Amino acid sequence: MKKKVNDTLKALVFVLILILLLTGVSYLMMPRDNTEQQWKHDVSANAFRAEPEDTLDVLFFGDSEVYTNIMPLRIWSAEGITSYCVSSSKQNLWYTFQLMLDALQTQSPKIIFLEANAIFRYFTMDNFLLHGSELFFPVLKYHDRWKTISFSDLTAQTQYTYIHNEKGYHFSKDIDPADTTHYGAPTKKMKQVSMVNRLYVQAIKSLCDRYHVRLVLLSTPSTKSWNMSKHNSAESMAKALGVEYLDLNLLQEEVPIDWSHDTRDKGDHLNIYGANKVSVYLAHYLRDTGLFADHREDPAYSVWNKAVEAFVKKHAAARTFDWS
Amino acid sequence: MDLSFLLAGAGASMTSFFAPTFLFLFLPASLILYAAVPKKAKKYVLLGESYLFFWFISGALLLYLVLSTAAIYGFGIWLEKIQERMKTALKALPKEERKAAKPAYIHEQRCVVTLAVILHIGLLLVIKYSGFLIENVNGILSFLNSPILLGTPRYLMPIGISFFSLQAVSYVVDVYHGLIKADRNFFRLALFMSFFPQIVEGPIVRYSQTAEALWNVQPIRYQNLTMGLQRVVYGMMKKVVVADRLNPLVQAVFDQTHQYDGGIIALGAIAYTVQLYMDFSGAMDAVVGVAQIFGITMPENFRRPFFSKTISEFWMRWHISLGSWFKDYIFYPITASKRMKNLTSSARKKIGNHFGPLIAGSMALFCVWFCNGLWHGAAWSFIFFGMYHFVLILLGNMIGPAVKKVNGKLHLRAESRGYRYMQIVRTAILVVIGELFFRAVSVQSGFNLCGRMFTTFSFTGLSFDTMSKLGIDVQDLIIVGITLVFVFIVSLLNEKGISVREKIAAWPIVWRWVLLYALILYIVIFGAYGFGYIPVDPMYAQF
């Protein structure tokens, strides 16, 4: 009996020391800046970290449908509301959750949009366990930094310096028309959402509630990534969660996407012309909520006006439409 | 209420023993449940866990395993009944009549064994090879401008079928030979067939090796738990730090064959051989380690193969359980057959004592290596791989005396260190070439790669830019190098008969823990997983 107790104690002490070691190593391996050199992955999505505290009114999370279809600078120029696309290619909900958790440490958005495409993206139990553990032991996520880490990195204070001028938006002026034959074909079917994804959406809702943020499920226009079975499923999920579901694919009058001109890749993603239409609609939608003040004349937000100027100056395509 | 069919097949990633789902969910849950139940129930819990594991990785294909077990259960008892009838009948007969009466019973037994083999190997052939066969028939038909082409069937193949089918056959044949008694306990036989650590990648164990130990399972002991976990961590280092880190390089070289010159192809071939060894032997470390936690001693499947001086020695040290299965159930039955014995004795008279036995031996060897190649997969490159080793071993057998003579004339001592090193390096080179064909997408691609490896051998194209294309950088190579040196030192000590694990077990607890922490942190920091890496499935699970 005594041996059993001894052995159990030894095992517990071993695990405890291991947890301490992993915590210590995690601290050492954490990036000290959000520059490409240090962060390595999804730099534009992670550039929200360098935004001044509590300056972002709205955050958009999700996959490439977000960073191609939504232009935070256009929302700013239309209504003076600050927003950011915290989105990355094929973003999984575990990643959305991690990013959201981080964002809410420094920002106090009033609305968070979750692009519904992400809720249908299947990921394995392995991903769930590994990325869930990353929340406790960031070394599991940043371990590959051993390749570039310097001694001074180990002791340096964390300071995020990289600001993405386009606030997470990925510019494209390419035009590659879409075939819209089956776009929006009616169906009563509901695209299945995995059990793990349902749990994650629930966790995201709880996180928003904890920080008093309104969660909105959003579908941006796409002939490829969206269909009615996804709509039905997202609508039902939104209803169950008690949140709004905003499907821009069904608002073809309010968001008049010209699929022969406004898409960069045959309907999967929008180009700047389509993104402009979506962003203007979203700006008006946000204004109508009555939650936001117009910051355009506020000197504290003058960098946003400069960012718009720089963007328009840089991209000729951005000069083809009115920015007011 | 959709319960996603209770996760059938949802744990496909658990085929890797280093997948988080297996390591941090299934294994701990299994151990806790196993430890919690009374001793009498442990074996049933272990069987339930094994079936649950198979259900998670293969879903309804679990039926294959259950039916295979049921079939050999029946065949075993059937064989034993014939043997009992034979005994009783022979006893009742006068001595002089016994010899004449025996063949009928032997024939009956052979029919049963044949039926069992056809059922298992036949099923394996249909599921695994019918597509390949039809593809080749269609190739011939289209060459002959035939308007008719056969449809290619697609079967769902349960993971591990190549392993448990051979185990099933060995059980029936062993009962036939009287080496073991037929098991009248279905659950014991089922546990032998399904024990979850070994079902995916082997080793292919014999009934006499594990069945009893599995049935008489012991409570989890601290010593077994720590030693088993150490072995799992060591295997994880091989797989996650070395094998998975080399994967992008191997993929780039073998999938974009035209892009690289000989030096890089050679690097890719060596990297693949190292990757395969680290992946498979790492998985075997996990199998042995997990089994040890349950108090089961699994036979080793690797014995430091890269210390081999000849190809035949290599295959006695690499995937040992497969080699010994082929030896016991193909090579020996062929060479021991009456016809072959007659052939050997007449050949001895005609061509002497060295070459005489080689004829029958070569025929058996051909069958072994044809099957070995085919066992790895339904493709000509695998058959070529088998034939490559057949030719090398045959040549080794044939020219052995001549080499000895030449060595004598040149005053070369085969026991000298330099000669042994030369043999080890030569064997390693031959192995690497064989693995190049094994990994190549086709035999033609293998020849193309091999040809360019020798004709355009140079490292002039190796730059930082090329390395970036190959998905690897200098730091990756340094970490792989350091880890391989570590594995080499452990292997060298083991080769010298020093048990590293026993030595470490004798250290004071502080040093043991320091080593284990260092190893775990080494894997955590230098492992190829997470962001930027694609998980690599266990390489032998696909065979």
pLDDT of residue B5: 53
Contact B4 A10 (CB under 8 A): no
Same domain for B183 and B165, yes or no, is yes
Contacts of B473 in chain A (CB under 8 A): 147
Give me the residue from B13, B20, B521 closest to A21, CB to CB.
B521
pLDDT value at B11 more than 70: no
pLDDT of residue B404: 85
Contact A143 B20 (CB under 8 A): no
CA–CA distances in Å: residue B83 to residues B105, B107, B108, B175, B260: 8, 11, 10, 10, 62
pLDDT of residue B6: 55
In a domain, B543, yes or no: no
Same domain for B96 and B167, yes or no, is yes
In a domain, B71, yes or no: yes
Same domain for B49 and B160, yes or no, is yes
Same domain for B268 and B410, yes or no, is yes
Contacts of B10 in chain A (CB under 8 A): 125
pLDDT of residue B415: 82
Encode pLDDT of A215-260 as tens digits.
999 999 999 999 999 999 999 999 999 999 999 999 999 999 999 9
Contact A125 B25 (CB under 8 A): yes
Same domain for B44 and B134, yes or no, is yes
In a domain, B49, yes or no: yes
How many Å apart are CA A120 and CA A216, to the nearest integer? Answer: 16
Supply the range of the domain harboring residue B517. 223-537
Same domain for B206 and B227, yes or no, is no
In a domain, B484, yes or no: yes
Mean pLDDT for the stretch of residues B516-541 = 87
- 3-state class (DSSP) for residue A214: strand
Task: Give the domain ranges of chain A.
Answer: 31-320
How many Å apart are CA A215 and CA A83, to the nearest integer? Answer: 14
Q: DSSP state, A57? A: S
Encode pLDDT of B398-424 as tens digits.
888 888 888 888 888 878 889 999 999
In a domain, B431, yes or no: yes
Higher pLDDT, B531 or B324: B324
Q: DSSP state, A61? A: E
- Kindly state the greatest CA–CA separation across chain A: 81
Concatenated DSSP letters for B69-132?
A: HHHHHHHHHHHHHHHHHHHHHHHHS-HHHHHHHHHHHHHHHHHHHHHHHHHHHHHHIIIIIHHH
Please identify, among B219, B236, B260, the residue that sits at the C-terminal boundary of a domain. Answer: B219
In a domain, B542, yes or no: no
In a domain, B432, yes or no: yes
In a domain, B177, yes or no: yes
Give me the residue from A11, A25, A126 closest to B525, CB to CB.
A25
How many Å apart are CA A155 and CA A235, to the nearest integer? Answer: 48
Contacts of A195 in chain B (CB under 8 A): 4
Same domain for B353 and B371, yes or no, is yes
Positions in chain A whose pLDDT score sits under 70 = none
User: Is the backbone peptide bond immediately before B508 cis, with ω within 30 degrees of 0?
Assistant: no
Closest residue, chain A, to B523 (C-alpha): A143
pLDDT averaged over chain B?
A: 90
pLDDT value at B2 more than 60: no
Task: List strand residue ranges (DSSP E) for B130-182, in order.
Answer: none
pLDDT value at B172 more than 70: yes
Same domain for B177 and B240, yes or no, is no
How many Å apart are CA A18 and CA A34, to the nearest integer? Answer: 28
Mean pLDDT for the stretch of residues B266-292 = 95
Same domain for B236 and B157, yes or no, is no
- Kindly state the greatest CA–CA separation across chain B: 85
B230 CA to chain A: closest CA distance, Å?
A: 13
Q: For A2-16, B317-331, B471-485, which range has the lowest pLDDT when averaged over its residues?
A: A2-16
Closest CA to B519 of B294, B282, B183: B282
Encode pLDDT of B77-130 as tens digits.
999 999 999 999 888 888 888 888 888 999 999 999 999 999 999 988 888 888
Mean pLDDT for the stretch of residues B297-310 = 95
Task: List strand residue ranges (DSSP E) for A188-292, in order.
Answer: 214-219, 244-247
pLDDT value at B1 more than 70: no
Same domain for B232 and B207, yes or no, is no
Same domain for B194 and B233, yes or no, is no
pLDDT of residue B480: 96
Contact A141 B529 (CB under 8 A): no
B20 CA to chain A: closest CA distance, Å?
A: 5
Contact B20 A130 (CB under 8 A): yes
How many Å apart are CA B278 and CA B318, to the nearest integer? Answer: 12
Q: For B26-40, B86-100, B199-213, which range has the lowest pLDDT when averaged over its residues?
A: B86-100
- Any idea which fold A31-320 has? Rossmann fold (3.40.50)
Helix H, strand E, coil C: the string for A71-133 is CHHHHHHHHCCCEEEEECCCCCHHHHHHHHHHHHHHCCCCEEEEEHHHHHCCCCHHHHHHHHH
Same domain for B517 and B474, yes or no, is yes
pLDDT of residue A33: 86
Please identify, among B219, B248, B263, the residue that sits at the C-terminal boundary of a domain. Answer: B219
Give me the residue from B10, B517, B530 closest to A130, CB to CB.
B530
Give me the phi and psi of B218, to 5 degrees please.
-110, 160
Encode pLDDT of B327-336 as tens digits.
999 999 999 8
Would you give the distance in Å from CA B102 to the centre of its chain?
38
User: What is the count of structural domains for chain B?
Assistant: 2
Neighbours of B310 (CB within 10 A): 18
Encode pLDDT of B422-471 as tens digits.
999 999 999 999 999 999 989 999 999 899 888 888 777 777 778 888 88
pLDDT value at B32 more than 50: yes
Chain A residues 130-159 with a CB less than 8 Å from chain B = 130, 133-134, 139-141, 143-144, 146-147
